[in-house]
Structure 1
Amino acid sequence: MLKRKEVLKLNHELLKKALEGDELSISKIFTNIEYSTKDGMEYLKELSLRAGNAYTIGITGSPGAGKSTLISDLIEEYAKNDLKIGVIMIDPSSPFSKGSFMGNRIRMQDKTMLKNVFIRSIASRGFLGGVSAEAIMLMEAMDGLGFDKIIVETVGSGQTDTDIVSAVHSILVLVIPGSGDEIQALKAGIMEIGDFYVINKSDKIEAESLYNSIKFAIESGETNWRDGWKPSIIKISALKKYGISELIQGITQHEKFVKEHDLFIKRIYQRRHKIIELYLKKKIDEVLLNTIRENEDIISEYEKKGTGLTETIEEIYENFKKKI
């Protein structure tokens, strides 16, 4: 594991309270980090110096698969062992305001009352990989604040939820029977990243067929084995709390595998690389949008006079490059 380092500016009262577990202080720091304020980036810098100890779990799957209910079950199980649990739940953004509808926050209210549990629900902000730069930055911050387990739920957009593979130690892909052509679903991007394929609502009669389809895909090599770990298939009923203990045991075994194969630190470094990548993409998108707005006259000229489209694109592109 990475050696925990001392924070450089413990005299900062808000940071000091957050490190002591004060939830209001944690919330204020997370808000600053989420909106990339100057203070927020300083908090992230300080907390990153302490990060490198938390075990991270990503949960992805299509909408309606039961991700929030499963996370609720995992929280209850981990809380029994006096572990400090951080949860980041990513809600779909409005395509106009980029704000979140925060449905997950409403569903998880009862779990916020548990000791040593902190839940943060944030917007996806239009990121297509199911997880945003802000979400991974908050993971890094939670790690630095001393959380033992960090669970991240992707937005649940389906095949595109693949960025999570670069941000967590264990990936749970949640699937449900009777949702369509199982064989075709196995070929989608989301079915190529899992350490665990978790069949929810496994009391349905179609569950056995789905289990066999996933098992065939794993045994025949149609799905990837991340770093040599053979993906596990586990049947559960999140609503009825069936199979949760078995899933916890599986995650524990995978954590042991990750640590024994020197993958623990590797994935922390991958997480940090993903923060840099997604953060820079966000900044570039902002510059691009501003460039388009500032060059409306060039675009209008093209629309009115029918000037060359490629020349218009090249001119705006050159203006864009000057701003980067």
Structure 2
Amino acid sequence: MTGGDEESPDDTGSDADDTAVAASAGGDTDDLDPLIADLLDGKHRALARTITKIENRSPGYRDLVSQLHTHTGDADVIGITGSPGAGKSTLVDKLAATYREEGLTVGVIAIDPASPFTGGAVLGDRIRMASNVGDMDVFFRSMSARGTLGGLSTATTDAVKALDAFGKDKVIVETVGAGQNEVDIVRTADTVVVLVPPGSGDDVQMLKAGILEIADLFVVNKADLDGADRTVSELREMLQLRDGEVEVGGHHGFEEATVDVSGEAGRERGGGGDAAGDDDAADDADAADDVDAEGVEPWDPPIVETVANRGEGIDDLIAAMDDHRAYLVDSGRLESKARTRYAEEIRTLLREDARELLAEEIDARGGLDERVDAVLRRETDPYTVAEEVLEPLADCVAERRESRE
């Protein structure tokens, strides 16, 4: 296991052992930054240093990420999220070990809560991922959430690109686990796995507030504990409610029925209608509902039970994730997800750059103190102040737009 928060030899390992093949093997690296050239040559030390520069937002980090972009797009990015205590770190450790047994290389980014004093990661998940210590083909890195409510920072997305360009087959991102705020992962990962511990009614209730929509797979971890069957049933019920109907009784062997949550009378599954024509019409309607505007059938998130600390259910989970990957490729959703991801990344960068530009403009005008005092004296108002600060920037943008036209 390699990686870490510092640029030290102990964290990055020996370059003599680096055998990874660069994603751009055979390409011309004369115009590349030497650090990126070393990364593409499979040197773990360069990978660690690159991620450190990315995380610290060191001068020139954007140029590094820009050079990485051409060499990305091959890794399968998996997001692991869920409430604290669900066993995410243990599950990630077992996933990485299983992938290595299959001959695949793995990169792991564990997002920890940020220290309010230093901004750094405070948990150090590496102590819970011991199975892969010493394996040079498993690169592990703890990163700070940097105070972002969505569970990820912009640096995380850039670090994923570094691992992708390096040539990792699987990149696993484990999020903080902060409840319903764990939604940013859907903008980074191809497959999102949500962990739910058994017997956790509050956690299942929490899913209704947001995470339900982002999960491609659900994992009930610690399935050997009491309450696992009930949690699985509750998740199934919630998924069916999301789709507009709920099956009751089937999990425990009773006669399955479909309850229409729109308020209309339910019908027993297999009970039929008054006539064969009614059945055909209902089947046609159901079939139409199962296809989206692009003519693609929606993905039905499976529920997998695991006991991660014993490695039970890991093969089933990997098989389910492989099925989702195949679905994304076959349906064309993988490309559409990438398009959405890049659009959101561009918007995020634009917001960051605009915020910095405005901060510089405010400083150039002597700060906000005088304007705040004027607002307090009711001589002006916040909206007017904002317009005054933005006016020269807006005029500049308008002039450039007119010159292009």
Report TM bin, short chain. 0.7 to 0.9
Which range is displaced more, 149-158 or 267-276? Answer: 267-276
The one-character-per-residue Cα deviations of 1:270-309 (angstroms, maximum 9, x if unpaired) are: 332333233333444555667499213433555xxx4229
Distance 1:231 1:294, change over 3 A: same
Q: CA deviation at 1:193?
A: 1.1
**Are 1:295 and 2:368 matched, yes or no?**
yes
Runs of 4+ in structure 1 off by over 6 angstroms are: none
Equivalent AA in structure 1 for residue 162 of structure 2? A
Q: CA deviation at 1:116?
A: 0.9
Aligned to 1:121: 142
Aligned to 2:8: none
Equivalent AA in structure 2 for residue 50 of structure 1? H
Aligned to 1:32: 53
Q: Is the 1:168–1:267 contact (alpha carbons within 8 Å) kept by the matching residues of 2?
A: no
For structure 2, the 5+ residue unaligned runs are: 1-22, 245-289, 395-405
Q: CA deviation at 1:112?
A: 4.5
The one-character-per-residue Cα deviations of 1:11-51 (angstroms, maximum 9, x if unpaired) are: 64322221222211111111222233443222211211011
Which range is displaced more, 238-247 or 34-43? Answer: 34-43
Equivalent AA in structure 1 for residue 210 of structure 2? G
Which range is displaced more, 279-288 or 24-33? Answer: 279-288
Structure 1 Cα separation of the partners of residues 392 and 48 of structure 2:
38
**Are 1:249 and 2:319 matched, yes or no?**
yes
Q: Is the 2:83–2:203 contact (alpha carbons within 8 Å) kept by the matching residues of 1?
A: no
**Are 1:263 and 2:338 matched, yes or no?**
no
- Number of residues of Structure 1 aligned to a counterpart in Structure 2: 318
Q: CA deviation at 1:102?
A: 4.3
Structure 1 Cα separation of the partners of residues 230 and 380 of structure 2:
52
Aligned to 1:274: 344
Aligned to 1:139: 160
**Are 1:230 and 2:300 matched, yes or no?**
yes
Q: Is the 2:29–2:37 contact (alpha carbons within 8 Å) kept by the matching residues of 1?
A: no
- Correspondence list, 1:74-113, <5 A: 74-108=95-129, 111-113=132-134
TM-score by length of 1: 0.87
Aligned to 1:240: 310
Equivalent AA in structure 1 for residue 125 of structure 2? N
Structure 2 Cα separation of the partners of residues 121 and 148 of structure 1:
19
- Indicate the SS of the match to 2:167: coil
- Indicate the SS of the match to 2:321: helix
The one-character-per-residue Cα deviations of 1:177-197 (angstroms, maximum 9, x if unpaired) are: 233346523312012211111
Structure 2 Cα separation of the partners of residues 121 and 260 of structure 1:
33
Q: CA deviation at 1:219?
A: 2.5
Q: CA RMSD in A?
A: 2.9
Aligned to 1:212: 233
TM-score by length of 2: 0.70
